[in-house]
Amino acid sequence: MTKHKAKSRQTALALGALGVVFGDIGTSPLYAMKACFSGHHAITLNPANVLGVLSLIIWSLLIVICLKYVTFVMAADNKGEGGIFALYELVSHAGQRRSASFMLFAAMIGGALLYGDGVITPAISVLSAIEGLDVATTAAHKYTTHIACTILLALFAFQSSGTEKIGRLFGPVMLVWFTVIGAFGLFSAVGNPEVLQAFRPYYAVNFFVENGIAGCMVLGAVVLCVTGGEALFADMGHFGRKPITLAWYCVALPSLLLNYLGQGAMLIRNPHAIINPFFSLFPKFLTLPMVGLATFAAIIASQAIISGAFSLTAQAVHLGFVPRIRILQTSEDNPGQVFVRSVNWIMAALCILLVIFFRESENLAGAYGIAITGTMVITTYLFWFYLRKIRNCPWVLAAVLTGFFAIFDLGFFIVNFTKIAGGGWFPILLAGLIAYGMFVWIWGRAKLRGLLQKRGLEVSNLEPEIEKYMLAKVPGEAVFLTASESVPHAFLQHLRNNRVVHEKLVFLRVTTASDPYLDPHSRIALKNIDKNIYWMTVNYGFMEKPNLSLVLVQSWNQLGLSSTDSSFYMGRMLLRLNKENKKHLLRRKLFILFSSMSEDPLDYLRIPADKVITIGTAITI
CA nearest neighbour of 274 among 42, 549, 595: 42
Other Cβ atoms within 10 Å of 261 Cβ, number: 25
State residue 162's pLDDT score. 61
The CA distance from 300 to 490, in Å, is 49
Q: Output the CA–CA distances (angstroms, integers) from residue 377 to 105, 243, 404, 592, in the order listed.
A: 13, 25, 12, 33
Q: Are the C-beta atoms of 379 and 128 separated by less than 8 Å? A: no
Nearest CA among 225, 238, 58 for reference residue 166 = 238
Q: Which of 399, 464, 442, 43 is nearest to 212 (CA)?
A: 43
Alpha helices in 560-605 (DSSP H): 585-597, 601-605
Q: What number of other Cβ atoms are within 10 A of residue 587's Cβ?
A: 17
Q: Which of 472, 430, 585 is nearest to 113 (CA)?
A: 430
| pLDDT for res 404 | 94
Alpha carbon distance 24, 354 (integer Å)? 18
Beta bridge pairs of residue 524: 538
CA distance 609 to 596: 19
CA separation, residue 285 to residues 135, 267, 288, 350 (Å): 11, 20, 7, 36
- State how far the Cα of 611 lies from the Cα of 361, in Å rounded to an integer: 54
Helix axes 144-157, 341-358, angle to 10 degrees: 170
Amino acid in the structure at residue 445 = R
53 vs 42: CA distance, rounded Å: 12
Q: Which pLDDT score, from 0 to 100, does residue 608 have?
A: 72
Written as one string, the DSSP assignment of 103-118 is HHHHHHHHHHHHHHHH
Q: Identify the three-state secondary structure at position 228.
A: coil
Give the mean pLDDT per block of 10 residues along the chain (621 residues). Answer: 66 77 83 80 86 95 94 83 81 69 86 82 78 65 81 81 66 90 94 92 92 85 83 76 89 95 93 87 86 80 74 81 77 63 86 84 71 87 89 91 92 83 80 90 85 75 83 82 81 85 85 75 80 84 74 67 69 78 84 81 73 78 78
**pTM for the full model?**
0.77
DSSP state of 224: G
β-bridge pairing 524-530 and 566-576? unpaired
- Closest C-alpha to 319, from 592, 533, 81, 97: 81
pLDDT score at 304: 66
Question: pLDDT at position 314, please?
Answer: 81
Domains of the chain: 7-443 (1.20.1740.10), 460-620 (no CATH)
What is the C-alpha separation between 121 and 126, in angstroms, rounded? Answer: 8
The full 3-state SS of 469-513, as one line of letters, equals: HCCEEEEEEEEEEECCCCCCHHHHHHHHHHCEEEEEEEEEEEEEC
Contact 487, 457 (CB under 8 A): yes
pLDDT recorded at residue 333: 55
DSSP 3-state assignment of 518?
coil
